[in-house]
Amino acid sequence: MAVSTQPGPDDVRAYYDEFLRYRMTSNRIDGNPRIEAAISRILPLLRDTDRVLDVGCGIGIVSERLARRVTAGKVHGIDISPMNIWYAERTTRAGNLSFASHEAVNELDAASMELGGPADVVVLVDSIEHIPEADRPGFLRMLRGISSDSALLVITYPSPQYQRYLRENNPGELQVIDNSIELATLVEEAASAGYLLRHYSLECIWRPGDYCHVILQAGGSDCSRPLSQKRKSMAVRAVMKAESVLLSRIIRRYRQWRYVDRVFRRIRDHRSGEGRITDAS
Ligand SMILES: C[S@@+](CC[C@H](N)C(=O)[O-])C[C@H]1O[C@@H](n2cnc3c(N)ncnc32)[C@H](O)[C@@H]1O
């Protein structure tokens, strides 16, 4: 009898609980151009009142930035890793932002209940490639089922050519489940789920053409949402430049304290009690 080698949800959860400490916190301290590119893609699409679901939200960096934009709406972030959610809840600040630990394929209904109504925008930032391939078509159908009539689905993920490059040159960078997703396959699966392609681009984050940005729309006939990224004004570019210069050792030290030392100092033993997370009093 053939034995499946596909990691199950418990393996994936354990992997990302561990991933938090050695990888995710650095996104808070040093920033991450992949995340910034995704945020820049998503922000211009949002309306003040949108209800947004961030699936595979990690430590909530994207969720927090989106929540600041949808001032009369809300953002709910879900992630399989309780550690990521634990950390997100301690390091984000926004009144219209919530988090919960859920496995995306099997626990989407719970996430939808928590969101409190149909999602207007669902975002998958570097998470769709971690959904088991066989589950993806059904997962897209479920996303459509919990979304409003002309909801957007924004997906950013490593391009198949970048995945091939990593497989050949740096396999240690690949995560526990890390699929290559061809655009044609994704568009076909999304179409069966009731989405039409509104935007596709190949981005250059670290290497030419390493990331795909895809915007899908339920129904596909509502063209009232702007989809393009606005070019940043000179003032905004000047501020960004000044910010990068200011990212001095002092700021980096502050971030180390705010996002790592302060948070983990309070943890007594997050591994005790089968993954239960305990704060020291
Ligand atoms: C590469 S990280 C991206 C996190 C975040 N979106 C970002 O861009 O920083 C992938 C995230 O997907 C989550 N994830 C992986 N498989 C999942 C699943 N089946 N259900 C829910 N979350 C999952 C992981 O825990 C991890 O936080």
Distance CA 258, CA 262 (A): 6
- Contact status, residue 79 vs residue 11, Cβ threshold 8 Å: no
Task: Tell me, using a 6 A CB cutoff, whether residue 85 lines ligand 1.
Answer: no
Work out the average pLDDT over 156-162: 97
Which pLDDT score, from 0 to 100, does residue 262 have?
A: 86
User: From ligand 1's centre to the CA of 242, what distance in Å?
Assistant: 31
Residue 2 has pLDDT above 50, yes or no: no
Query: Hey, what domains does the chain have and what are their CATH numbers?
Result: 9-227 (3.40.50.150), 231-271 (no CATH)
Task: Tell me, using a 6 A CB cutoff, whether residue 166 lines ligand 1.
Answer: no
Ligand 1 site-directed mutation target among 89, 127, 176, 211, most atoms within 8 Å of CB: 127
**How many Cα atoms occupy the beta-carbon half-sphere of 128 within 13 Å?**
30
Pairing of the two strands 97-101 and 211-218: unpaired
Around Cβ 154, how many Cβ atoms within 10 Å?
A: 24
Which pLDDT score, from 0 to 100, does residue 25 have?
A: 86
Which pLDDT score, from 0 to 100, does residue 169 have?
A: 93
Dump pLDDT digits (tens) for 206-238.
999 999 999 999 986 677 777 765 566 677 777
